[in-house]
Amino acid sequence: MSKENPVRVVRLHAVVSGIVQGVNFRYYTRQQASSLDLTGWVANRWDGTVEVVAEGPRATLEQLLAWLQHGPPSARVSNVETNWETATGEFDLFRVTYF
């Protein structure tokens, strides 16, 4: 009898506030998410925040979330609003998206 333990994939939807635009936040977020083998996207929003949608194992997404709470060296993160959602599997990699 096989005891498989499939890793449950979930979705993290985060909106990062603070000094997060004009500091390469998207570039470094893509780099971080890709290094963790997560899929999804990151984009600047019109209100000065950065939005992140990422899918993968919860534990790995928690690592990305911990990174988002401080961001790259020149960023000043004041808040990360997070929602955990059901993964859709619609992404094949992690990319920078433009609205």
Coil, strand or helix at 45: coil
Average pLDDT of the chain to the nearest whole number: 95
Per-residue pLDDT at 1? 45
What is each CA distance from 44 to 14, 90, 91, in whole angstroms?
A: 12, 20, 19
The catalytic site residues sit at 26, 44
- Could you say which architecture CATH assigns to the domain 9-86? 2-Layer Sandwich (3.30)
Q: pLDDT digit string (tens) for 38-84?
A: 999 999 999 999 999 999 999 999 999 999 999 999 999 999 999 99
Q: Which of 80, 42, 38, 83 is nearest to 59 (CA)?
A: 38
pTM: predicted TM-score of the whole model, two decimal places: 0.92
Residues 91, 33: contact at Cβ < 8 Å? no
